[in-house]
Structure 1
């Protein structure tokens, strides 16, 4: 006899209800696109994320909006992301995005920390025009955000060899395999129809808390309610962890055999359970680095990843979005139980992971021969922001490069851009275009700045507690002075800043993490690694922005005096530990 009652069922989050009632990501979006309101309802806002867009407002202008009597007291606009697996795109595609940022955006665009492109300031009435234009150049915004597999990261180096070719092909294959199958995206943004697919007999999809079975005709991987939370994947190499594999829900660590031109990818270690979003006031939340789950021979890795995703789909927490990421399921179950369930879903045993560790992070900056007689050049783009401002005219430089040299491009996980396939005789021409537009060459950028990145934060992000992108350059100016005085200006280390604890710029595994805590105050993390394989820890809380460089200066002075030979900064901090560092630097 089954004594279960409706009251025994867990109470799901409102977002789960929105997804279940949406008829595969449609919901009220069609009707709201047609009305005259400047913004969307809460239900549409949640569903629109799966289509690649977030609703925002200009927080710098809230007072002005209220005084002007603007509806809702805010100047609303949309942020839209373009999905670019491995950051790989053509000059024509970038030129189209540059045109759009002038036409419908706020005149700037941003290379994201996941190797995509992000535009801000798009008005609701221009949203369809923008997304249609992106698709017209063979790109998409579908699944750039939302409770789905997001943009696939990959080490972007354009070397002409079998290893990088295989990794970058895997990133493209993952994107294609895991893209949502609903017709809603095409109907809403590419056509004028919003009739939707036919649903099963008995009406629309029903809400399911777990046990979503395969065989869903429309979404065979995701089911009607998609995943409990966002899902991130990346592909990398022991000698090139640019894709920050340990920060991903699934990291694909390539295993190779052979050497030189004979080196080939033979399989991948799958790392699972990484993720950085956290809420300091909620002890149940935490940052986590991914753990090795299994080894998959080449050709079997996508099927294994699908099994991992389906386990998360069916058993991830749909009652609390704060604890809905895969990392919490892995933590709560333990790796052994989690692997057993993945094997059940995969229908086969999974081999133990091979004892291989990351040993380098290649950011691809500067000039490099790419293996076919041509060259590539990695340009540092501070915080990924592409703009023309004063004598700094990066946007115009990219336009000229795209129209005259037309190279293939790669956006890097550190928000830079790589110009590929440059003929030897065009190297000086590329540099001359950049210099003529006031764009510093990578070689002219300090090491600290080159290895830094920040999230957008103010004024567009609704979650931001304080500044990030607008604050980090000034902090680095001060830090560069301190490092030069110590003779450490050539020391490589990662600095990552976010305006809130959600960790979009991946601050929790960097050498130095700065996380917004209050207005102009940050939590300072130390002890991570440029390799990205270790979490850092809180060194000091509530550090004023104006005091960050001086605080770090004292730690760097101790590092210079006490480091072991060739010891990296993050390793030194981790070895010495918080208490000893505080005693030495803050006494």
Structure 2
């Protein structure tokens, strides 16, 4: 039977609960890389092996191996950390990585440029901060994301506690993490007891969970395998509407792969929501496709078996079924910048961090130095948003002037230094480190926005809040299929252009033009901007205008994400 499974499934099942030979590979100084099978396993430990593609050709000419290095993500449910932890991670960036931190769309940190000989030091330093990287990547439940909600402090506290509880319940348990990274001794061969939930197979593919508090959809709740939409009554979270089967990736040329918005399943009371998430994850564990990795996400399980089947399985696994869904309204999915006063009197400041990159650069300014200084003077916490921005949260009124002074001194952006268009743009890392990237994304976005703003000005438009998403490939890390305007990389300098999502993350876009260069993209957008300026209704967003005016249809099918209109 094992021979018929894809290589990834065989590696998991033969890995001795994610140990493989990672430890031996780390000790091999003859190469900067790990054995190929172990690179599949290190993903479960939160790490991807990469190489610097900017120097790949030059190293090949010099007959050197690629400049192997590792990207590592943290498990940080709800995106909350203390000032002490921020300062510790800032120190790690210098001692072990490339002197930058990156805030991700999954509300956590991503470190780049970690060489193999620094990996165990990196992991040990993270552990000393009370943090870990377990399950930030791999075929398990990934980092649980949630609404940051700075105004209603008691709701944020509830949501954050639930995100932590769900993450802890679905965290993989094997002793491999402590043995490989922290020097712990193996106690015994525990077999199935070592992974009581996942077993030796783990999940067929990655699994993602998000929690939203209406009317805000800052986590793009419908883009997740499980989306939990809080139902708030009399100021308290009573329970959640549960949506299932969301996911953003597709494979070019394979119409059997497609992004999908999650489908409403029903309502679950708050007291049972952690158990409900475990039951749903178990359904995917037991019924998800393991023979075709491209078909292994939960969205395909839902489409293969149907929602009636899923609801029956949920009642079986959970011990009781869904209740009817409650009414809710989602109106936006961006961040509110600047100061907000919470109900507890504490102040919360949301800062724009362009593409989530925390670094000191000539172009971007001393962002990292400024945030380090704030952390040294901040008595509250930090909250990473799902849009790659940062909330300086829980500021005492007497400390607010000091934070304001530091923001001004270091030129940080509280939402007034950049246009609404830039505030609502997002990009994945892509080149030079991501091995999947086909085109630029993070490095491309600033210049692209410059050209979009010039184009809009030429057509008499203000640089409005249009949701722009760019990724270097079709896998969807920056959730491009929810952008009013979105680009996915096809080749260096070439992109697919997607149009027509809504502004609140409840309607996907569709493929409009395929494999075109930037000049063609701008030429395509020019008449659409002109029509938008002339015909838009009061308060109408760009994506809604494109649907109302018939530029793109309101309907979305998998084929529309693969077949261009023109």
TM-score (norm 2): 0.94
**Residues 37-63 of structure 1: CA distance to partner in whole angstroms, max 9, x if unpaired?**
210111100110000000000000001
Measure, in 2, the Cα distance between the counterparts of 1:352 and 1:13.
39
Alignment partner, residue 77 of structure 1: 69
Task: Give 1:502's match in structure 2, choosing from 470, 475, 478.
Answer: 475
Give, in whole Å, the separation in 2 of the partners of 1:234 and 1:113: 12
1:493 shift after superposition: 2.2
Q: Which residue does 2:339 correspond to in 1? A: 367
Aligned to 1:210: none
CA shift, 1:308, in A, is: 0.9
**Conserved in 1, the CA contact under 8 Å of 2:124 and 2:182?**
yes
User: For 2:44, what is the secondary structure of its paired residue?
Assistant: helix
Structure 1 partner of 2:230: 254
Taking the aligned partners of 2:263 and 2:95, their CA distance within structure 1 comes to 44
Q: Does 1:54 align with 2:48?
A: yes
User: Cα distance, 1:552 vs. partner?
Assistant: 2.4
Q: 1:219–1:580: structure 2 CA closer, same or farther, 3 Å change rule? A: closer
User: Displacement of 1:310 after TM fit?
Assistant: 0.7
Match of 1:65 among 45, 59, 79: 59
Cα shift at 1:333: 1.1
Give the whole-Å Cα distance in 2 for the aligned partners of 1:123 and 1:312: 35
Distance 1:419 1:484 in 2: 33
In structure 2, the residue corresponding to 1:443 is in which secondary structure? coil
What are structure 2's unaligned runs of at least 5 residues? 555-564
Once structures 1 and 2 are overlaid, which stretch shifts more, 109-118 or 399-408?
399-408
Residue number in structure 1 paired with 2:388: 415
Residue 79 of structure 1 aligns to a residue in which SS? strand
Change (3 A) 1:431 1:551: farther
The RMSD of aligned alpha carbons is: 1.9
Q: Is 2:28 the partner of 1:35?
A: yes
CA contact (8 A) 1:114 1:153 kept: yes
1:162 equivalent in structure 2: 154
1:187-336 equivalent positions in 2, closer than 5 A: 187-193=179-185, 195=186, 197-200=188-191, 216-258=192-234, 263-336=235-308
- Is the 8 Å Cα contact of residues 364 and 418 (structure 1) preserved in structure 2? no
Q: Distance in 2 between matches of 1:161 and 1:373?
A: 9
Map of 1:18 onto structure 2: 11
> Where does 1:139-158 land on structure 2 (aligned, <5 Å)?
139-158=131-150
The SS at the match of 2:441 is coil
Task: Determine the C-alpha separation between the residues in 2 that align with 1:436 and 1:18.
Answer: 52
Native 8 Å contact 1:251 1:270 kept in 2: yes
The farther-off stretch of 357-366 and 377-386 is 357-366
The alpha-carbon deviation at position 189 of structure 1 amounts to 1.1
1: CA distance, partners of 2:139 / 2:168: 16
- 1:173 Cα offset (Å): 0.9
Query: Which residue does 2:415 correspond to in 1?
Result: 442
Note the C-alpha offset of 1:446: 0.6
The structure-2 alpha-carbon separation of the partners of 1:197 and 1:352, relative to structure 1 and needing over 3 Å to count, comes to farther
1:120 pairs with one of 102, 112, 115:
112
Between the aligned partners of 1:55 and 1:45, the Cα distance in structure 2 is 6
- Asked if 2 retains the 8 angstrom alpha-carbon contact of 1:458 and 1:467, the reply is yes
CA–CA separation in structure 2 for the residues paired with 1:62 and 1:362: 37
Q: 2:500·2:552 contact (CA, 8 Å) conserved in 1?
A: no
d(CA) in 1 for partners of 2:256, 2:152: 45
Query: What is the CA–CA distance in structure 2 between the aligned matches of 1:197 and 1:67, rounded to whole Å?
Result: 48
> Are 1:45 and 2:39 counterparts?
yes
- Aligned counterparts, 1:167-182, within 5 A: 167-182=159-174
1:90 and 2:82 matched: yes
Q: Which residue of 1 aligns with 2:557?
A: none
Distance 1:336 1:309 in 2: 17
- 1:445-484, Cα deviation, whole Å (9 max, x unpaired): 1101001110000000000000000001001011122334
Distance of 1:139 and 1:427 partners within structure 2: 28
Counterparts in 2 of 1:273 and 1:197: CA distance versus 1, 3 Å: farther
Following superposition, the deviation at residue 547 of structure 1 comes to: 3.9
Following TM superposition, by how much is the alpha carbon of 1:192 offset from its aligned partner in structure 2, in angstroms? 4.7
SS at match of 2:231: strand
SS at match of 2:194: coil
SS in 2 for 1:444: coil
Shift of 1:160: 4.4
Residues in 2 aligned to 1:524 and 1:58: alpha-carbon distance in whole angstroms: 27
